[in-house]
Amino acid sequence: MKPFLRALAARTAGQAISVFARFMTAPRAIWQGIEPVPRQRVYFANHSSNGDFVLLWTVLPPMMRRQTRPVAALDYWLTSPLRAFIGREVFNAVLIDRRPEARTADPVAQMVEALDQGSSLILFPEGQRNGSDQALLPFKSGLYHLAKARPEVDLVPVWIANLNRVMPKGEIIPVPLICTLTFGSPVHLSPDEAKDSFLARASAALLTLQPQVQR
């Protein structure tokens, strides 16, 4: 496919995905601790559904959406030509290989490179979908290393509510429900702050954004 046609197809597919996501979930963004302005950020969120990054990307204003790239699993998004097209062309995802033995690139270096190119990022520090009874799984170290590499970038917690009920694990057809995405105040790594301390603080910042009925 010619580059022009590929770009047109990607843009059209992105618009269709956004319309479908809004139709199925009627998502409502609550900017509680930060304003929706086009500034470089790393949005980190809870992860309970395959649709998490799609919904977060969808509720961003168009100007912010165009510069925001999800961090996603290479071993999921490259399993078929359609997924590869959506991951690479539609969302311009930073594709991370979750298999250490198969990696050809350092995940943190990939994210830092995307930031240095001017992009904002969407990532899920739990590292996998949370199917447990816990509100959050322990955070992986990637968020800490990213904060250490680029301490000037705002790390914005985002709590996604209800999406696990719209797209339960293993289901193909979504159930229409209203979802909310609450954006909190930015988190930054303090000088000399230890990894475990920072990750606990980032996790706590995310947990405080839960709707009262979920706590």
- State pLDDT tens for residues 103-113: 888 999 999 99
Answer positive or negative: Cα dihedral of 180, 34, 137, 59.
positive
Q: What is the dihedral of CA 90, 107, 127, 59, to 10 degrees?
A: -30
Q: What angle do helix axes 3-25 and 52-59 make, rounded to 10 degrees?
A: 90
Percent residues over pLDDT 70 in the chain: 88
Residue 177 has a pLDDT of 62
Question: Each residue of 121-177: pLDDT tens digit?
Answer: 999 999 888 878 888 999 999 999 999 999 999 999 999 986 555 455 555 555 556
Report, at the CATH architecture level, how domain 3-214 is classified.
Answer: 3-Layer(aba) Sandwich (3.40)
Q: Is the pTM of this model over 0.75?
A: yes
